[in-house]
Amino acid sequence: MRIILVHGFNASPQMNFHPWLAHALQDRGFEVVAPALPLKAGDDLNLPEIVEIMKKAIGRLRNDDIILGHSLGAFIALQYLEAVEMVETPRAVIMVAAPWKVTRPELRRLFIVDLDSDVLMWKAREFIVVHSKDDTLVPYEHGVKLAEAFKATLMTVDGCGHFMDAEYPALLDIIEAIARRPHEYAPGASLPNDYA
């Protein structure tokens, strides 16, 4: 099973919880892909270029992939899902401390109204929003709105702020729970057959 980690704005795969999570996942037998993206202040946020970098790093999405995007990285992951040609449906998309909207002019093109959540919600088997009630950079209400838009499971935590520390065992627990949970490959396979 492959875990794709997408870092946020002014960050990298070597910052915040990403190095710890990548190593912890690899120790448990997961394959980890963590592309370094040009998402820094002063960079020209060229979305097609960012998507191309992700395509080269990730290749084709597979049905057992779990994508975790932190902060603005969650929107990059969604933009990637919207742009990439898919033949398989990823297992899950986890949006950690993701904003519902942004105010910085250079980031506005990544804003949720530019994405079609009605279409995107079918591009993964499951969406999960993880948001801390004490996040001062992206208020908790943003997570609530995202969860509503994507019919996602909202996992509320407290004391994690904007998830910028070195370790968050809760994120590892969420990924492992998704990996262990059986899932249907055929839509409706778990529903009773009224005609049998």
Are residues 70 and 16 in contact, defined by beta-carbon separation less than 8 angstroms?
yes
| Average pLDDT value for residue range 3-26 | 95
What is the percent of the chain where pLDDT is above 90? Answer: 59
Structure tokens at 29: 């037998």
| Average pLDDT value for residue range 139-167 | 94
What is the spatial distance between Cα 49 and Cα 84, in angstroms, rounded to a whole number?
13
Statement: residue 42 has pLDDT above 80: no
The per-residue pLDDT for range 89-108, each reduced to its tens digit, is 899 999 999 998 766 655 55
Give, in words, the CATH class of 2-180.
Answer: alpha beta
CA angle 150/76/63 to nearest 5° reads: 65
pLDDT given at position 113: 44
CA angle 61/75/32 to nearest 5° reads: 40
The per-residue pLDDT for range 67-81, each reduced to its tens digit, is 999 999 998 898 898
User: Considering the chain, what is the average pLDDT of its residues?
Assistant: 86
CB atoms closer than 10 angstroms to residue 156: 13
pTM of the model: 0.86
State the pLDDT confidence band at 181, using cuts at 50, 70 and 90: confident
Nearest in space to 92 (alpha carbons), one of 187, 1, 195? 1
Q: Is 44 exposed, middle or buried (0-12, 13-18, 19+ CB in 10 A)?
A: exposed
CB atoms closer than 10 angstroms to residue 104: 11
DSSP state of 111: S
pLDDT given at position 153: 94
Statement: residue 112 has pLDDT above 50: no
Structure tokens at 19: 């190095």
